[in-house]
Amino acid sequence: MRSCKLPSGAAMPVLGLGTWRMGESARRRGEELDALKYGLELGYPMIDTAEMYGEGGAEEIVGEAIAGLSTPPYIVSKVYPHNATRAGTIAACERSLKRLRIERIDLYLLHWRGGARLEETFEAFHRLRAAGKIADFGVSNFDRGDMEDAARLDKGLTGSNQVLYCLSRRGPEFDLLPRMRQRSIPLMAYSPLDQGSLLRKPALKKLADEAGCTPAQLALAWLLAQPGVVTIPKSSSRERVKENLAALDVKLSPKVLAELDRAFPPPKGKQPLEML
């Protein structure tokens, strides 16, 4: 699969599996584990999770899904802001590694800003990296100003910034995404289907018919067509996991791209970064 280069030089796949809302219910656990295992069998090379999801439950399911694989996927996880102190970040990472049953997290992110001082979090990230417990580190839900603060405080993120970005929420295109491109930091687009609500828009359905794909594939292919953007749709259904992967094969004509711009216009000015 195509990949994106991180500031560290490491490669990150452009498409992965999301896991928010997984690990919250014992009744749904089997279905969630099955969807992840099936996705890995199909060739998804990346899984995004967080200590927050199911309060560790999602990481445990991911750990079970990847246990024993000869080629484990690229793993992204996140620390809660209230755990992101110097010592707290390290302890949270150790807990995540245990639940994930791995020695190293490929990309470890601060879930959102607001708990501990950023200096402390970054110091802990550097220590974890030096100890080989994480390969790269980054942030999530950071708007342009937060990214500038991060750059001032640190020599530079080695990883990515994960933010809400999809056809129906194009705010980051105004100044965040261009600035990240300047600094060669990939944007990880979360909620690429706007949690499913984007798929109910008649304009998307119509254009998907024209492009010969499903609305979800069109929404994902549009993100994947943007330079420096990777994405992580979530599904607990085998069929939809398969459907979403096929977005990689969708070719968007200039006409469809122009019609998407008309139906889902890019921002005309600064919009504060939205967060779910």
Which positions are annotated as active-site residues?
53
Site for ligand NDP in 70-89 (CB under 6 A): none
Instruction: Give φ, ψ of 108 to 5 degrees.
Output: -115, 125
Q: How far is the CB of 172 from ligand NDP (least distance, A)?
A: 13
Exposed (0-12), middle (13-18) or buried (19+): which is 212, by Cβ within 10 Å? exposed
Q: Which is nearer to ligand NDP, 85 or 140 (CB)?
A: 140
List 47's β-bridge partners, or say none.
Answer: 17, 75
The count of chain residues that interact with ligand NDP, using the rule CB under 6 A, is 27
169 interacts with ligand NDP by CB under 6 A = no
Of the residues 11, 237, 248, 274, which one makes contact with ligand NDP according to CB under 6 A: 237
CB-closest chain residue to ligand NDP: 18
Q: What is the distance between the terminal CA atoms of the chain, rounded to a whole angstrom? A: 28
276 interacts with ligand NDP by CB under 6 A = yes
Of the residues 235, 260, 264, 273, which one makes contact with ligand NDP according to CB under 6 A: 235
β-sheet with 187-190: strand ranges across: 46-48, 74-79, 105-110, 134-140, 161-164, 187-190, 229-231
- Contact pattern from residue 175 through residue 194 relative to ligand NDP, giving x for each residue in contact according to CB under 6 A and a dash for the rest: ---------------xxxxx
Q: How far is the CB of 93 from ligand NDP (least distance, A)?
A: 16
Residue 256 has which token pair? 């469809």
44 interacts with ligand NDP by CB under 6 A = no
195 interacts with ligand NDP by CB under 6 A = yes
Q: How far apart are CA 40 and CA 264, in angstroms?
A: 32
Q: Which is nearer to ligand NDP, 2 or 200 (CB)?
A: 200
Q: Is 260 left (phi over 0), alpha (psi -120 to 50) or beta?
A: alpha
Q: How far is the CB of 213 from ligand NDP (least distance, A)?
A: 11
Amino acid at 263: A
Q: How far apart are CA 4 and CA 220, in angstroms?
A: 16
Instruction: Report whether 16 contacts 62 (CB < 8 A).
Output: no
Binding footprint of ligand NDP on the chain (CB under 6 A): 18-20, 48, 111, 140-141, 162, 190-196, 199, 216, 232-237, 240, 243-244, 276
